[in-house]
């Protein structure tokens, strides 16, 4: 049983589902209209009121989650948390409220998860499709075929900002609508060509915005499908009401009227700019994609593995050296007896990628690799995971002062020393027999190796001496014994 929590810019949502044959069946769904994007002040910070509303909701979600026996939970935050200047400071408080780590995902990762949810709901392995998701703070366009994504982009235009910027004070008129539509089109026009209908067969609208608009159109007799004509009729009906507070239509909840007008402007902009004939709403998207991702991880089909292997190939990493270092680092890490399994996989992936920076320059390659890992679009990875890997790679070589802040976390420090020694032994051309080496790390590092290695590999004593000096600089005693 899996739980997906989506901290969106407009609403916070929770799904609890169970894999059932070829599908994931939703057992529980909760939605609270937090309007987080509307809670950003002029400096781009979440206001105290917005943060308090978010915390109250997260505490409620924690109660809901506690009622189920869950195999995995993933909490993701999207556009509003991405852009809020004080999100990093707010995150620990939010995580404490819900009781789980919160991942602020990139727009591209958001698009990947959305597409995964749609693709698994639709099936049709050979279908070429465009998926559009209009959220509170951003809009994602994803082009794919079957389960495979061909192109994904995130645009910083969402329902909340569009509503607040163009329908000021809740007033709805023709001029405001056209301005909002033109503004939306300006975000998409440069990127539009690859998303035109000749590249796909079916267009799906995966967001609550698309589903709500479709519901209003059908229930009010404005059409049988979402197309340019029915969207124009809906726009005219909204203009006739004249003000958000007066909008009263079947299929539209009162609390959604203030943002759905911005969403309608964006959808009309997309339909016009991309020449979309029909948008088919679908009850699948980010939360369903998160649950499918959790299921795939549990069945050893982790998208992150493919991302790492793609990087290895793209940046011409020496695979023999990379796999050797990765395997040796895991073996050494195991000897240090970490308290949890938190860094094992990230250590392995970091070891595989530790030399990718050589594609830029052999000088300071670890710094180049660290920068690339932290800033790359790595499908399946969160920004936090990429920072973890970046820090491991940065710390595998040279002085340790640059990572001294994270060495206070014992398991992370153990991962660092394991990776550094694995690289050191590889450079010294030592084929390690792990029955003949012992590594311990409590308050100090203790390494025991065979005496013959020092004689057989002349540079080993030099590198080990340098390693002792580096750890000594950050206040960690490193003793070496030979036997």
Residue 38 pLDDT > 90:
no
Report DSSP letters for 377-409, one per residue. Answer: --TT--HHHHHHHHHHHHTTSS-SGGGGGGTTS
- Domain segments of the chain: what residues? 2-105, 108-284, 302-482
Listed ranges 270-279, 446-455, 472-481; the one with the highest mean pLDDT: 270-279
Report DSSP letters for 312-324, one per residue. Answer: HHHTT--HHHHHH
CA atoms within a 13 Å half-sphere pointing along the CA-CB vector of 287: 28
Separation of alpha carbons 184 and 10, rounded Å:
18
13: left (phi over 0), alpha (psi -120 to 50) or beta: beta
CA angle 385, 390, 395 (to 5 degrees): 130
For residue range 167-188, what is the model confidence (pLDDT) as tens digits?
999 999 999 999 999 999 999 9
Residue 227 pLDDT > 90:
yes
Give residue 102's pLDDT.
92
Better-predicted residue by pLDDT, 379 or 99: 99
- What is the Cα 278 distance to its own chain's centre? 29
Q: Is 254 exposed, middle or buried (0-12, 13-18, 19+ CB in 10 A)?
A: exposed
Band of residue 106 on the pLDDT scale cut at 50, 70, 90: confident
CATH fold of 2-105 reads Nucleotidyltransferase; domain 5 (3.30.420)
If you average pLDDT over every residue of the chain, what do you get? 91
For residue range 41-57, what is the model confidence (pLDDT) as tens digits?
989 999 999 999 999 99
For residue range 143-172, what is the model confidence (pLDDT) as tens digits?
999 988 889 999 989 998 899 999 999 999
Band of residue 23 on the pLDDT scale cut at 50, 70, 90: confident
Residue 356 pLDDT > 90:
yes
Give residue 304's pLDDT.
85
Q: Which of 143, 121, 139, 122 is nearest to 131 (CA)?
A: 143
- CATH number for the domain whose boundaries are 302-482: 1.10.3210.10
Bridge partners of 185, per DSSP, are: none
Q: What is the dihedral of CA 64, 101, 26, 302, to 10 degrees?
A: -160
Judge whether 333 and 317 are in contact, CB under 8 Å: no
Tokens of 72: 């995995």
Give residue 284's pLDDT.
85
For residue range 251-291, what is the model confidence (pLDDT) as tens digits?
998 778 888 999 999 999 999 999 999 999 998 889 999 99
Separation of alpha carbons 235 and 251, rounded Å:
15
The CATH homologous superfamily for domain 108-284 is: Exopolyphosphatase. Domain 2 (3.30.420.150)
Q: Which of 152, 138, 142 is nearest to 187 (CA)?
A: 138
For residue range 84-93, what is the model confidence (pLDDT) as tens digits?
999 989 999 9
Separation of alpha carbons 343 and 330, rounded Å:
10
Report, as an integer, the average pLDDT of 441-459.
Answer: 86
Asked if the domains at 2-105 and 302-482 fall in one CATH topology, the answer is no
Which parts of 139-227 fold into alpha helices (H)?
A: 159-166, 174-188, 208-219
Give residue 433's pLDDT.
77
**Longest Cα pair distance anywhere in the chain, in angstroms?**
89
Least confident of 108-112, 181-185, 275-279, 368-372: 108-112
Report DSSP letters for 34-67, one per residue. Answer: --GGGGB-TTSPBPHHHHHHHHHHHHHHHHHHHT
- Return the residue matching tokens 């993933």: 74
Give residue 333's pLDDT.
93
pTM: 0.76
Separation of alpha carbons 327 and 332, rounded Å:
9
Separation of alpha carbons 335 and 320, rounded Å:
23
């Amino acid at each position: 049983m899996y739980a997906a929590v989506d901290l969106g810019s407009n609403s916070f949502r929770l799904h609890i589902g169970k894999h059932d044959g070829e599908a994931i069946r939703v057992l529980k769904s909760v939605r609270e209209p937090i309007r987080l994007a509307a809670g950003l002040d002029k400096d781009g910070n979440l206001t105290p009121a917005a943060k308090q509303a978010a915390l109250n909701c997260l505490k409620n979600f924690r109660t809901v989650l506690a009622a189920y026996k869950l195999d995995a939970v993933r909490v993701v935050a999207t556009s509003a948390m991405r852009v809020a200047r004080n999100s990093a400071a707010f995150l620990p408080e939010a995580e404490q409220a819900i009781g789980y780590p919160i991942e602020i995902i990139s727009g591209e990762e958001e698009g990947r998860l959305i597409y995964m949810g749609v693709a698994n709901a639709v099936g049709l392995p050979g279908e070429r499709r465009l998926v559009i998701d209009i959220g509170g703070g951003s809009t994602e366009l994803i082009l794919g075929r079957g389960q495979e994504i061909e192109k994904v982009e995130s645009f910083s235009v969402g329902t909340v900002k569009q509503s607040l910027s163009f329908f000021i004070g809740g007033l709805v008129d023709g001029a405001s609508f056209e301005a909002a539509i033109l503004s939306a089109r300006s975000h998409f026009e440069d990127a539009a060509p690859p998303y035109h209908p000749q590249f796909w067969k079916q267009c799906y609208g995966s967001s609550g915005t698309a589903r709500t608009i479709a519901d209003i159109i059908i229930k009010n007799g404005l059409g049988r499908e979402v197309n340019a004509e029915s969207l124009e009729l809906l726009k005219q009906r909204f203009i006739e009401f004249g003000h958000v507070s007066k909008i009263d239509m079947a299929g539209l909840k009162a609390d959604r009227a203030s943002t759905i007008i911005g969403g309608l402007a964006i959808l009309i902009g997309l339909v016009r700019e991309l020449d979309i004939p029909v948008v088919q709403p679908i009850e699948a998207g980010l939360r369903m994609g998160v649950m499918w991702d959790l299921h795939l991880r549990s069945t050893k089909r982790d998208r992150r593995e493919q991302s790492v292997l793609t990087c290895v190939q793209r940046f011409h990493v020496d695979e023999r050296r990379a796999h050797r270092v990765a395997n040796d680092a895991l073996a050494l890490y195991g000897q240090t007896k970490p308290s949890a399994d938190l860094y094992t996989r990230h250590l392995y992936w970091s070891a595989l990628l530790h030399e990718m920076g050589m594609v830029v320059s052999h000088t300071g390659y670890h710094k180049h690799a660290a920068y690339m890992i932290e800033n790359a679009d790595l499908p399946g990875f969160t920004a936090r995971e990429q920072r973890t890997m970046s820090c491991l790679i940065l710390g595998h070589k040279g002085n340790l002062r640059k990572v001294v802040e994270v060495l206070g976390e014992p398991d992370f420090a153990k991962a660092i020393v394991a990776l550094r020694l694995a690289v050191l032994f590889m450079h010294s051309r030592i084929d390690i027999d792990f029955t003949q080496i012992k590594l311990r790390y409590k308050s100090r590092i203790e390494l025991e190796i065979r005496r013959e290695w020092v004689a057989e590999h002349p540079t080993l004593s030099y590198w080990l001496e340098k390693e002792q000096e580096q750890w000594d600089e950050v206040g960690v005693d490193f003793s070496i014994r030979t036997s």
